[in-house]
Structure 1
């Protein structure tokens, strides 16, 4: 049997590892073999999915570094925030491993560019484009096909609805059949919480509802319906329907039908990763580039006795992994999630939606290494006829090719534990098939899910927000998203809530303010010995705080990359720093250290600046600095003179002459130069007319609150410290909006008080002597108080008392009205 066709570099690597392993003493096979400890390495522990516990981390060969394989995306649609959770968290750990612990890391990631989901999506899109070309207008033929697609979609995905449902009855019948789910309950109606099944029902209800509404509208008046909008609303129903009619007619050897889709979304995935500041993999592999190696790998597994062939047709067979034979050799299966080994739903999902259940398999749990291709599926040559790789085999082959016989780390989302990673482990260890204890992966790390209202975010549920949509709409920034993931444990689930978003924003704002002030201190701090001596006692306290923070952060990161504790440590150090003297030189090393950790976490796209403090977004643009910094200095001098009462024309004119503005400016700098020149002219005008101090102060406020604000720059006045120059950011805008809202609320309340007061005064316009001069009464005393009613009956004493009290109240109102008239 031929050996696996690895590139030459990989063969050499495998040979070295084989020679080293041949000298290893044979021991009883444990569930997890602890890698050999190496002196001098960081005392790092990692939560290992293989042991479901934290274990010491040691790379197999520290000189070669950490061999890390990560399961990449299945590239058939745009990536969503759930993918961001996985790949950003992976990037954080990778950066900590590389930049904090100083391990060389060889990071390999694959693109799954052929599997059942891709085949279906690419084939369906191909058929839909062809269908669109054949129907350039909405007519009876298009409506008939689309209506049939709608009913087929309902029959498959919403089985509680009647098969002969009329379009007009869809809304009422869906409410009747799925009312509990629509209201947030479970499909069973037994009080159990709603989950993924209910989320799928809601997804199908939305899709069917969109199709039904469009069909009704188009059937009533096709002229008012845009063709593109029609296809957009009908797409979910048309795609599977057209595939069912014509899917088998696709040319299996025309790979471009499938690669057109995958190449497009592969590039978009990489663009998303770059936007999120995720490091590029050192090596990228693709399944379609590895089909010959996959065939060879499977042949070796068969030769070793752990796989068998099942004839699907006269010309083609599938190859299945033999779990019973594997376990008969004392090799454990489903090591990551043994409790799921008989979960038929997960097994079916791992085999793919296009895979038909085989009655010839030796066990239902056996999984496909190679699938014979059916009509309409891409096909590669193999000893077993035309076919394609199973889902799990791809990673085993590509990881082994690039990284060799044993991996230090294998990572992915938590949903990949079973069956994907468990199957990878089994088939890889079946391929290498050592008689002595051997494990293909030493450490598995799995990232927790991102969830919305209790359901994981996924493409299949269509309950996701794509990364590019979230960033373009401003729902998230790359930094804000990474902060949220850092605030949660990498292996724990994250549910997006308002409180979590608030917590992340608060953390970022506090770091922003600290870095901004510290960077400004670095720019303005005097290096004189007297300055250092004045803060000597405070320096000692800050130095101790920095030393303690370094120790705590190291303990957090060595404890399985405990970023929540690390983030809390950074914030605690900032809080301590904020209680110190704002001019203490010891703030500078704190700012530099915090900056280095922020960059280690990947929280800034830009490299660390030469001064070693800060991240992007805390400073104004470089084109603005040469003008705004002197303008701020001039404004500060004017304010001081106005407060001191020294704003004579000679003094102001002398001050203006020390701040010249060059006539020629780069185009981008002209707005700042104009504001500078305007401020000088207005200050000189005030001096010429000997204006009072309050006009100078008002002019300075106008420069800060209007002219520079409109250029996205804010001047923060500080008692006893130079003015801080900062960009207008989300925090400042929110503060201004809150202030404006408070002022508007005060104004509204004032207007309401004035309205009520006016109404009260208007009530007092009537004299108390005249208030009872109505037809209700027939006689009055000299004060105007009624003595007899309209029928001539004498007013009772009790009623008279009430009338007198009312007259007294009106008397007070009348007095207030008269007084107001006089004013």
Structure 2
């Protein structure tokens, strides 16, 4: 076999007369290369992206991959103006799908036939012990549920102790411990309650039952009934597409499915065998011959990650859990192009007998069928580099090879782009490890929305790992609020234009815009450096915020706002909004359409009232001019507008009432505050008062709610502190009043002393000894204080 350290074949970009617009980090060369499309005119770009294996809901790790790819796709199409053809596959048959589909089918059938508690308990007990024996070898054989927790802690204490896990193997062990623990708890519950709920019990023991039932009955199902598997895959393909759209990920131009490509895959494998790079084994499987491939000049295997070509764990994972070792393989690293189907596995006809595609061959056949023998871009998660994409490369170049023995010099993929992992608390999300949060779960809980998650990936970059921390969340939220507030101010200028004239400050901001455009272009041209691009946008907004805004013309601000709007829409931060429509802002910064006419009217009237009340010139004439205005001409009978109509009408009636009462200015200001803090706030609208400018009308967002909550908490703390002080003072006053009733002649008549003078002052202590002079001085001071206190009390009682 060839050495992993051998020199990589030279990579050459396609020739083009058009200067490259950008550089792309290419996993194939592990460096940044000028991006030169295969298209002779330099405009059309072909792109194949590895899609999901659809057997479960997509999680945030998948969101990381597909949202990041979507960002790059949008930038390539809408910023660099390439004409893309974007193809994505759906893997709807592989070992994981076969196992999951078969297990779910068997479990459903089993539960329908075993609804009595005795059967449920008996099978689950056996399944529990089989699961522990296979996956947790450090535990005793035939362990009983009641002993599980103690034995697990003893054998796997380091993993259960809460320390960061050192590897995926440890994470997998922790997952197995959790599964076994849940089953053990359910079995203990059933032992103590013979009338337990069978349906609930099956839910808690499902994860140990699934592999157990598969081991018993998996080979007996009718695998010619493909609906056993497609029922699962069609459900999760639909849910995957729903999840992607909820994250504002564009649909692919073309979607390919493995189950729809049986004949093409068979033809693809046949040609590889014909070209001398594949061989058939006696069971009807077909393997790729790595040694034969590398013996042909110009061919190299594992070009993406040559250091992993001997990694048996990765090789085994790439072959699938259902693949058994073959003694007929010519090389240990040779991988399956076609697998003979065993009992219980779906199959398709082939020249070698009933079988199914190997995992890697599907992408090669589908991508080649749709996009041809040479493709510009291939993308996927970083974990696909080896063996999946390395195997794709080898078998595809073997397919397109010549048969005369001459070096074919073919390059199937020009640029490989791999997205970095997403991790939380240092752990990579994985379906197999069951340590994931699904996309729909995260969105429904409000942990994220399409925009906030995309911002995280923009500031994290596409090819590097992203670890979600509290700091990164805060950074993303801060940037989103920064953009929100800028867009709010810009849209307010459209509603309330100023008549500023150009100044040097205005020109300075225009220079900042020109600089930022260059900085952003340089960033995106440098392998889509979105973190630098987002910093450039943020810095431009900072320039505006720190400037004397009175000295800046509306045109300058709106030009900046339109340009930023275009860029964030290119990044996919505003749904399906057109980046080139010349509008300002993104969704979420406007109040409801049906509210605008009435809310803007009440805001203007409130501004007038506040202005005159603060200036002290709120005359009857000015009030009359405000409250006697014609009511706005909006759709007053529109049900959706009714709450806003009521707010405007109520405000005017309240103004009239205060005017009739000739109320002071402070009452009018209090009414304005009520409108802002209660009436409109409860409708999700806030009026942000600004000196010398009309109030800024904006939706109530999470930032405003958090600020109000913090303010209310501070006010509550102040009230509670005040109430505590007042209570303490009241208690002191009460004690003082009680103390004041006592005559100084009686205050020292206690068992501590045995003799007092005529004023009640102690002379001798309890032992009959004379009170020391030093102590007597101290007691005298106390006596004098009590005398004054008592005399004040007597005077208050009319007894002075």
Q: Aligning the two structures, in what range does the TM-score lie when normalised by the shorter sequence? A: over 0.9
Change (3 A) 1:417 1:775: same
Tell me what 2:294 maps to.
327
The one of 745, 764, 779 aligned to 2:717? 745
- Residues 473-488 of structure 1 correspond to what in structure 2 (within 5 A)? 473-488=445-460
Q: Select 1:391's aligned residue among 343, 359, 365.
A: 359
Is residue 120–residue 198 contact of structure 2 (8 Å, CA) maintained in 1? Answer: no
| Cα distance, 1:821–1:639 mapped onto 2, change above 3 Å | farther
Q: Partner residue of 1:233?
A: 204
Q: Which 10-residue stretch deviates more, 495-504 or 642-651?
A: 642-651
> Of 343, 363, 370, which residue of structure 2 is paired with 1:375?
343
Task: Determine the structure 1 residue equivalent to 2:626.
Answer: 655
Hey, what does 2:563 align to over in structure 1? Answer: 593
In 2 relative to 1, CA 41–264 (structure 1 residues): closer, same or farther, beyond 3 Å?
farther
- Is 1:618 matched with 2:556? no
Asked if 2 retains the 8 angstrom alpha-carbon contact of 1:761 and 1:816, the reply is no
Alignment map for 1:95-244 (pairs within 5 Å): 95-136=74-115, 138-185=116-163, 194-223=166-195, 225-244=196-215
Who is 1:538 aligned against?
Answer: 505
Q: 1:788 aligns with which of 755, 764, 768?
A: 764
Does the 8 Å CA contact 1:79/1:269 hold for their aligned counterparts? Answer: yes
8 A Cα contact 2:262 2:348, kept in partner:
yes
C-alpha deviation, 1:219, in angstroms: 2.7
Which residue of 444, 449, 465 corresponds with 2:421? 449
- Residue in 2 that maps onto 1:9: none
Q: Is the 8 A contact 2:49 2:378 kept in 1?
A: yes
How much is the aligned-residue C-alpha RMSD, in angstroms?
2.4
Q: Deviations over 1:480-512 (max 9, x none)?
A: 000000011211111111111011000000110
Shift of 1:104: 0.9
Q: After TM superposition, list the pairs within 5 Å mapping 1:4-403 onto structure 2.
A: 31-61=9-39, 63=41, 65-136=44-115, 138-185=116-163, 194-223=166-195, 225-312=196-283, 317-330=284-297, 331-403=299-371
Q: Secondary structure at the match of 2:594?
A: coil
Task: Give distance in 2, aligned partners of 1:287 and 1:820.
Answer: 98
**Residues 155/801 of structure 1: CA separation in 2 closer, same or farther (3 Å cut):** farther
Give a deviation string over 1:577-635, Cα, whole Å, max 9, x none.
11234352211100011000100100011414955110000110111112111111111
The one-character-per-residue Cα deviations of 1:362-416 (angstroms, maximum 9, x if unpaired) are 1111000000000000000001100000000000000101111111111000000
Match in the other structure for 2:649: 677
Cα deviation, 1:705-724, whole Å, max 9, x if unaligned, reads 10111110111111111111
CA distance in 1, matches of 2:437, 2:790: 65
CA distance in 1, matches of 2:320, 2:786: 86
Q: Which structure 2 residues correspond to residues 587-736 of structure 1 after superposition, within 5 A?
A: 587-608=557-578, 612-661=583-632, 664-736=636-708
Q: Give 1:429's match in structure 2, choosing from 387, 393, 397.
A: 397
- Bigger CA drift: 491-500 or 151-160? 151-160
CA gap of 1:540–1:814, structure 2 versus 1, over 3 A, is farther
> What is the distance in 1 between the residues matched to 2:278 and 2:304?
21
Q: Which one of 380, 401, 413 corresponds to residue 412 of structure 1?
A: 380
- Please name the residue that 2:463 is paired with: 491
Distance, in Å, in 2 between the alignment partners of 1:428 and 1:820 is 106
Distance 1:810 1:218, change over 3 A: farther
Deviation per CA, 1:499-558, whole angstroms, max 9, x where unpaired? 1101100000011000110111122214xxxx342x332220111000000010011111
Q: Deviation per CA, 1:85-112: give whole Å up to 9, x if none.
A: 0000000011110111111111100000
Give, in angstroms, the shift of residue 194 of structure 1: 2.4
User: Is the CA contact 1:32–1:50 (under 8 Å) kept in the aligned structure 2?
Assistant: no
In 2, are the aligned partners of 1:764 and 1:814 still within 8 Å (CA)? no
Cα distance change, pair 300–643 in 1 and its aligned pair in 2 (3 A): same
Distance 2:193 2:125 in 1: 15
Give, in angstroms, the shift of residue 643 of structure 1.
2.4
Q: Give the one of 518, 521, 525 matched to 1:558.
A: 525
Q: Distance in 2 between matches of 1:38 and 1:815?
A: 108
- Contact preservation (8 Å) 1:95, 1:601: yes
Give 1:651 shift.
Answer: 3.5
Is the 1:608–1:615 contact (alpha carbons within 8 Å) kept by the matching residues of 2?
Answer: no
Post-superposition CA distance 1:253-305 (Å, at most 9, x none): 11111111111100100001100000110100000111111111111111111
User: Using the alignment, how far apart are the partners of 1:494 and 1:150 within structure 2?
Assistant: 37
| Alignment match, 1:574 | 541
Q: Is the 8 A contact 1:111 1:284 kept in 2?
A: yes
- Report how many aligned residue pairs link the two structures: 778
Return the TM-score normalized by structure 2. 0.93
Give 1:198 deviation, angstroms: 1.9
TM-score (norm 1): 0.91
In the superposition, relative to structure 1, how do residues 674 and 125 fare at CA in structure 2: closer, same or farther (>3 Å)?
Answer: same
1:105 aligned counterpart, secondary structure = strand
Deviates more, 1:280-289 or 1:600-609: 600-609
* Cα distance in 2 between the residues matched to 1:240 and 1:543: 66
Offset of residue 220 of structure 1: 2.0
Q: Whole-Å Cα distance in 2 between the matches of residues 809 and 97 of structure 1?
A: 88
How far, CA to CA, are the matches of 1:176 and 1:489 in structure 2? 43
For 2:82 and 2:688, locate their aligned partners in 1 and report how far apart those are by CA, in whole Å: 43
Measured after TM superposition, the shift of residue 135 of structure 1 is 2.3
Q: What runs of 5+ residues in structure 2 fail to find an aligned partner?
A: 1-5
Tell me if the contact between 1:647 and 1:687 (Cα under 8 Å) persists in the aligned partners: no
Partner of 1:743, secondary structure, is helix
- Any idea what SS the aligned residue of 1:715 has? strand
Structure 1 residues without counterparts, runs of 5 or longer: 1-27, 187-192
Say if 1:417 and 1:817 are closer, same or farther in 2 by CA, change over 3 A: farther
Question: CA 1:81–1:821 in 2, change beyond 3 Å: closer, same or farther?
Answer: farther
